[in-house]
Structure 1
Amino acid sequence: MRDDIIIEDTTLRDGEQAPGVAFDQETKSHILDALIGAGVRWVEVGIPAMGGAELEFLKAAVHRQDEATLVVWNRGVRADVEFSLDLGYRAVHIGLPASSLHLDKSVGKGRDWLLTAAEELVEYAKDRGAFVSISAEDIARTELDFLVEYAQTVAAAGADRLRLSDTIGILGPEEYARRVHEVVTHADIDVQCHAHNDFGLGFANTLAGLKAGARYFHVTVNGVGERAGMTDLAQAVVALKRLYGVDLGIDTTRLTSLSGLVAAACRQPTVPWQPIVGANVFAHESGIHVNAMLKDSSTFEPFPPEEVGGERRYVLGKHSGRALIESILTSRSRTYDQDDLAACLTWLRQTAVDRAGAVASDELVAHFDRRRSLAI
């Protein structure tokens, strides 16, 4: 991988395009605060042409450009780009399709129009001193030779970055990497990975793209976004740091609280088994696991919960063993023998089955005390 990889969050743009999700101005401000506070230095903040509350937020956010590079998204229309620059934004993204399917069905234009429009829009924005990012949307269904030609065209026009969008997430890592490699080999332009998660390959494709020479990549908090979402911020940050030795400068201790903030804003709870930030990531029930964890937490955790702002939990349930029962009773200053442990374990497993869920520590201790009192 390159040694200058840049993560850019698009929760406030692509993330909010998840069906049924809408952030008001205050919510968007809180999310931007949290992203910048966590060390995210590139944020795609929204779409000025939407107007209304979106525009009011963007007018307020423009004053924060010294804290992070704030990118605004625009259609491939000069009026959009001009409006964004007039607002004072110094970084603009221009969304344009590259596949014949999208050119025909989405904008009703051909390839010659695309090359000319892209060139003119890039040159206009560069003449006004902006950082210019531009899309090649739907690269999965774009012929590779034309994708390279398009990349060369926007590079010659002065674009700073080309976003390679797997718009409906239908590429595998090998094919996504091949497209990135061809572009960076034949065009003098930085590439950004934008990988949707329709087949669960968003981060795999992003990782493949980074290995193939991309410099930038897109993420959202909790992977929220259109349809099945896209690459998740927490997963990308921690995996790159832990597995590939790439530290992006993100304060990982804030990842769990950031996830909770966005989940609440989306009115959708984070699933317990969400990697990195889910409530079950550091929760342990299996008797064999807990027995080992009580001796050395590295036995069944890839990294400590404190690293991502999480919390370790031991859960009493159907699969628990004696080690956890013993630990809880000892912590509550109860004396017991092996018969007590066996009886508590039998009660615990049946109770968990009856309620189809976990049992609280206080319930276990209360059962133990009742059993002891009856034995007296």
Structure 2
Amino acid sequence: MSTHSRHIQLMDTTLRDGEQTQGVAFTPMEKVSIAKALLQFLRVDRIEVASARVSEGEKEAVSLINQWAQQEGFAERVEVLGFVDHTRSVDWIKSTGGRVINLLAKGSEKHCREQLGKTLEQHSIDVLQTIGYAHEQGLKINVYLEDWSNGYKDSRDYVYGLMERLQPAPISHFMLPDTLGVMSPDEVFASFSDMCQRYPALQFDFHPHNDYGLATANVMAAVRAGVSAVHCTVNCLGERAGNASIAEVAVVLRDKMSMELSVDESHLVRISEMVENFSGKRVAANAPIVGADVFTQTAGIHADGDQKGGLYKTKLGPERFSRIRSYALGKMSGKASLKKNLEQLELDLSEEDQKKVLARIVSIGDSKQTITTDDLPFIIADVLESKSYQHIKLLACSINSGLDLPSTVSIRVDVKGEKHQTTGAGSGGFDAFIDAIGKVLQHYDYTLPTLADYEIRIPKGGHTSALTECVITWDCGNELRKTRGVHVNQVFAGILATIKLINIQLHEMANSLEA
């Protein structure tokens, strides 16, 4: 058992194994962008970027990545999966400027016999032939033992026999995958302990899959057993249930096992968002480390404990990942939850007013509506009959849309007591409204921020008459802000969310002028 602190390499295979996720295909420039972010900002030790001989587009991407890596000193940290085909994979990798081949050998007797129709001896000869050629061409060589987890379980003699034949070869890492994600932590620890003790001079990588939801736990077991490197992907991308999450693995190895890592945690969320955008695969709001909600306290008792002494804070703090803690507002909110949000907005209310606002929050929460910090000023204004955030009021709005025709809108608004009426046109009702409201706001030296995201939701199982919730994320330069609108018409829900943002920013502009 190897429990002492040591450096564990993290090899990210988002661009190779992660791209086997159903429906995911990165463009060459997306691959280059992700590769740069992984090596330059997240600082992973190695990246696996492609499989050899897949397509011309893949070849273009790998060539661009290798060209950049050569210039930045990362050349030997970029790896490509190759096959036991003597010269073809090696030549493909060489033609892209690659320096490392991850050779895919058969790690189970069943795969060797039934898929290749070969004996251990025959397959070993083929593998060594490809290794010999790769070595002659100056490539660094790692070897995958495909389906090793099942191969070790079904026929250890085959695995040992393959290892005995390969270990004299110039192989840097023997990479042992749980290809189908079938192992438990106990099985991982026992099998890796055996491999590490039987071959103490060799470097072993663990390549886990998450079919049973055990990938991160299995990583811990493999590290305890003595592996020197672990393979991960961003956002758990990968075939079927995906691979191990690099965010989870990095944090667990540091916090729970005191291992040394190269990864810069402050960039985990940024890389997660990049891959989310390029892959089209949304990250669950409750995903550890990178999920939108994981640093949000909902229960009032938790906010109270944090207010009085940080009682519900742990080593897993949001600051590590360039994030902030928030306190949700809803039916389980208490005085402390409200107070935390008021502090964030730099608002001060009397005890009596806080009780009134809290009662309204709980009432709204009973109807299952999401309440954000940006909604709070409007709840306060409604409860206290305050005009502070009523800088702009939408008095009337009429939208006309037709099939294959541009949409038009006519609006009447009150801005700081002045009434305006104007029209706008656009590719849809909301776009037309943005055109019209922009004409009004130019008189007040105000320009709407650009949209970063636009989400429309209705309750699960909702009817056609159900309320529509529109959540808009705005790019406000140094921060992202979210506002919400609720209406039976989804276009008007977006309009109400826009009016909320304008009111907030006009209020801030007024405060800054007073200061």
Scaled by the length of structure 2, what TM-score is found? 0.68
Q: Give me the whole-angstrom Cα distance separating, in 2, the residues matched to 1:333 and 1:93.
A: 60
Structure having the larger proportion of residues in helix = 1
Matched, 1:334 2:343: no
Q: Give me the whole-angstrom Cα distance separating, in 1, the residues matched to 2:135 and 2:174.
A: 14
Match of 1:272 among 282, 285, 294: 285
What's the counterpart of residue 190 of structure 1?
Answer: 203
Check conservation: 1:147, 1:183, Cα contact below 8 A: no
Q: Residues 336, 162 of structure 1: CA spacing in aligned structure 2 closer, same or farther, 3 A cutoff? A: same
Q: Give me the whole-angstrom Cα distance separating, in 1, the residues matched to 2:56 and 2:311.
A: 50
What's the counterpart of residue 74 of structure 1?
Answer: 82
Check conservation: 2:327, 2:341, Cα contact below 8 A: no
What's the counterpart of residue 122 of structure 1?
Answer: 131
Matched, 1:53 2:61: no
Return the offset for 1:30: 0.8
Range with greater deviation from structure 2 (246-255 or 184-193): 184-193
Return the offset for 1:4: 3.7
Q: Give me the whole-angstrom Cα distance separating, in 2, the residues matched to 1:96 and 1:16.
A: 20
Q: How many residues align?
A: 371
Q: Give me the whole-angstrom Cα distance separating, in 1, the residues matched to 2:22 and 2:193.
A: 33
Identity %: 27
Return the offset for 1:218: 0.4
Return the offset for 1:362: 5.0
What's the counterpart of residue 26 of structure 2?
Answer: 23
Per-residue CA distance 1:91-111 (angstroms, 9 max, x = gap): 111112222332244333332
Match of 1:283 among 282, 292, 296: 296
Per-residue CA distance 1:7-48 (angstroms, 9 max, x = gap): 111011001111110000110011011101221131111123
SS at match of 1:168: coil
Q: Give me the whole-angstrom Cα distance separating, in 1, the residues matched to 2:262 and 2:308.
A: 32
Q: Residues 360, 24 of structure 1: CA spacing in aligned structure 2 closer, same or farther, 3 A cutoff? A: same
What's the counterpart of residue 365 of structure 2?
Answer: 352
Q: Give me the whole-angstrom Cα distance separating, in 2, the residues matched to 1:360 and 1:308.
A: 22
Return the offset for 1:309: 2.1
Q: Give me the whole-angstrom Cα distance separating, in 1, the residues matched to 2:59 and 2:298.
A: 48
Matched, 1:322 2:322: no
Return the offset for 1:164: 0.5
Check conservation: 1:122, 1:132, Cα contact below 8 A: yes
Per-residue CA distance 1:213-235 (angstroms, 9 max, x = gap): 11111011111111111111111
Check conservation: 1:48, 1:74, Cα contact below 8 A: yes
2:347 counterpart letter in structure 1: R
Q: Residues 129, 292 of structure 1: CA spacing in aligned structure 2 closer, same or farther, 3 A cutoff? A: same
What's the counterpart of residue 451 of structure 2?
Answer: none
Structure having the larger proportion of residues in strand = 2
Return the offset for 1:363: 4.0
Matched, 1:85 2:98: no
Q: Residues 306, 81 of structure 1: CA spacing in aligned structure 2 closer, same or farther, 3 A cutoff? A: same
Range with greater deviation from structure 2 (21-30 or 168-177): 168-177
Return the offset for 1:185: 2.1
SS at match of 2:53: helix
Per-residue CA distance 1:133-179 (angstroms, 9 max, x = gap): 11111122212232122122211122221111110000111212222
Structure with the greater alpha carbon radius of gyration: 2
Q: Quick one: higher RCO (CA 8 Å, sep 6+), 1 or 2?
A: 1
Per-residue CA distance 1:63-82 (angstroms, 9 max, x = gap): 21422511111122121123
1:300 counterpart letter in structure 2: K
Check conservation: 1:126, 1:159, Cα contact below 8 A: no
- RMSD across aligned positions (CA): 2.1
1:90 counterpart letter in structure 2: R
What's the counterpart of residue 7 of structure 1?
Answer: 10
Check conservation: 2:267, 2:321, Cα contact below 8 A: yes
Check conservation: 1:222, 1:263, Cα contact below 8 A: yes
Q: Give me the whole-angstrom Cα distance separating, in 2, the residues matched to 1:357 and 1:144.
A: 57
Range with greater deviation from structure 2 (168-177 or 191-200): 168-177
Q: Residues 328, 120 of structure 1: CA spacing in aligned structure 2 closer, same or farther, 3 A cutoff? A: closer
What's the counterpart of residue 249 of structure 2?
Answer: 236
Check conservation: 2:185, 2:214, Cα contact below 8 A: yes
1:153 counterpart letter in structure 2: R
SS at match of 1:109: coil
SS at match of 1:40: coil
1:38 counterpart letter in structure 2: L
Q: Give me the whole-angstrom Cα distance separating, in 1, the residues matched to 2:60 and 2:336.
A: 57
Q: Residues 360, 3 of structure 1: CA spacing in aligned structure 2 closer, same or farther, 3 A cutoff? A: closer
Which residues of 2 match residues 252-271 of structure 1 at below 5 A?
Answer: 252-271=265-284
Range with greater deviation from structure 2 (230-239 or 63-72): 63-72
SS at match of 1:157: coil
Q: Residues 369, 97 of structure 1: CA spacing in aligned structure 2 closer, same or farther, 3 A cutoff? A: same
2:264 counterpart letter in structure 1: D
What's the counterpart of residue 32 of structure 1?
Answer: 35
Q: Residues 92, 181 of structure 1: CA spacing in aligned structure 2 closer, same or farther, 3 A cutoff? A: same
SS at match of 1:227: coil
Q: Residues 294, 186 of structure 1: CA spacing in aligned structure 2 closer, same or farther, 3 A cutoff? A: same
Q: Residues 297, 264 of structure 1: CA spacing in aligned structure 2 closer, same or farther, 3 A cutoff? A: farther
Q: Give me the whole-angstrom Cα distance separating, in 1, the residues matched to 2:57 and 2:168.
A: 37
Which residues of 2 match residues 290-301 of structure 1 at below 5 A?
Answer: 290-297=303-310, 299-301=312-314
Q: Residues 200, 342 of structure 1: CA spacing in aligned structure 2 closer, same or farther, 3 A cutoff? A: same
SS at match of 1:26: helix
Range with greater deviation from structure 2 (245-254 or 220-229): 245-254
Check conservation: 2:7, 2:261, Cα contact below 8 A: no
Scaled by the length of structure 1, what TM-score is found? 0.92
Q: Give me the whole-angstrom Cα distance separating, in 2, the residues matched to 1:193 and 1:308.
A: 25
